[in-house]
Amino acid sequence: MDLTLYLPVLIFALVAGGLVLGLLVLSHLRAKRLPTKAKNLAYECGFDPLDYKTPPFNIGFYLVGLLFLLFDVEVIFLFPWAVTLSKTGQYGFFSMVFFLGILTIGFIYEWKKGVLDWT
């Protein structure tokens, strides 16, 4: 294999890297550093970002979102199964019934555990 074919790519990478490095050094050398009171204030929100602590967030929102994604992705498997059902025959039908049974058992387990309650 002839490595000279990659020479234009190497030249391009070197020129691009040199340009990036050059612009970074130039901007660092030419930047004005005049800290003012306004520049040292907390940005937009008005709170000092190091002192402000957010209130605890209910983990139930994350669980419901995660479970929605999980069941949504599993339901997506139903579409290709429905399209190919005539080719897969009884084996495909009963394997999907088994899959849906496991999905239903998982949903009932979550319901009984109270994961889906908003209170």
- pTM score, two decimals? 0.46
Residue 86 covered by a domain: yes
Structurally, the chain folds into a number of domains equal to 1
pLDDT confidence of residue 19: 97
- Look at residue 77 and tell me if it is in a domain: yes
**Structure tokens, 106:** 């998982």
Domain-located, residue 38: no
Residue 29 lies inside a defined structural domain of this protein: no
* 50-62 pLDDT, tens digit each: 555 666 777 778 8
Q: Lowest-confidence range among 1-10, 44-53, 82-91?
A: 44-53
Confidence of residue 14 (pLDDT cuts 50, 70, 90): very high
Query: Average pLDDT in the 13-36 region?
Result: 92
Whole-angstrom distance, CA of residue 94 vs CA of residue 75: 16
Q: What is the mean pLDDT of residues 19-46?
A: 81
**Residues of the chain with pLDDT > 90: what percent?**
29
